Amino acid sequence: MMRIDLLRHGETATPGRLLGRTDPVLSDTGWQQLGRQTTDRRWDTIVASPRQRTRAPAEQLAAERALPLRVDDDWAEMDFGDWDGREISALRADATCADALAALYGGADAAQAPAGETWHALNARIARALARLLDVPSPTSVLVITHAGPMRAALALVCGIPPASLWAVKIDPGTRITLHAGRDPGTGLWGEIVEVAQP
């Protein structure tokens, strides 16, 4: 069994936007959220999405604690295509976007932003990322600094939560979700939510 702490990056300098490829720096509050969620916790290794809002705090934490760090592209946020970087409130107010945005938030497998990534594609990436974590030969603990989309995909894959139900878990910037996870040769991934720590 492995302990996996999934940590959403803290608040950024441009809150309220769909941030996939768009990659603002963390705000002062975002750095403080990181500190609160990592103080007095121990890991054997750190994995991070390649975005600067996740990689920069991972690099700092790894350096402070002399821990190995691996940057894994598969933990990047969903690509929101033509909506990337736009304000969510503006998309909801636009009649041409509102229904498609609702489908995306509803977790429909084929739903996507225009020219963006589907949930199916995100789930495939996170399945690969989880497999790499669980390929470690002995039980360990890992911190994954990532984004809300990959965290929801991991919950769906590890805990069997239906996509439409994932929005019942609040994952604001700075949220940490602790899982115990493993892989059974017969049944595949399994896991349980141990803790949800809000920022």
Distances (CA, A) of 11 to 22, 45, 65, 94: 14, 23, 23, 25
In the predicted structure, residue 16 carries a pLDDT above the cut 90: yes
Closest CA to 154 of 53, 81, 49, 62: 49
Q: Are 179 and 158 in contact (CB under 8 A)?
A: yes
> pLDDT band for position 171 (50/70/90)?
very high
Q: Which of 30, 27, 9 is nearest to 19 (CA)?
A: 9
Q: Is residue 141 a contact partner of residue 3, using CB atoms and an 8 Å limit?
A: yes
Q: What is the dihedral of CA 141, 144, 149, 153, to 10 degrees?
A: -30
Q: Which position has the token pair 């690969």?
A: 128
Q: What is the mean pLDDT of the chain?
A: 94
As a whole number, mean pLDDT of residues 183-192 equals 89
As a whole number of angstroms, the distance between CA 167 and CA 108 comes to 12
Q: What is the DSSP string of 122-166?
A: HHHHHHHHHHHHHTSSS--EEEEEE-HHHHHHHHHHHH---GGGG
Using alpha carbons, select from 178, 173, 174 the residue that is nearest to residue 142: 178
Residues 6+ apart with CB under 8 A from 131: 183
Question: What is the pLDDT at residue 37?
Answer: 98
Q: What is the dihedral of CA 102, 127, 116, 76, to 10 degrees?
A: 100
Q: Over the stretch 33-63, which tens digit does the pLDDT of each residue have? A: 999 999 999 999 999 999 999 999 999 999 9
Closest CA to 173 of 146, 139, 137, 140: 146
- Show the tokens assigned to 97: 């976007």
Confidence of residue 70 (pLDDT cuts 50, 70, 90): very high
Q: Is 23 helix (H, G, I), strand (E, B) or coil?
A: coil
Instruction: Give the residue among 29, 154, 13, 31 at the shortest CA–CA distance from 85.
Output: 13
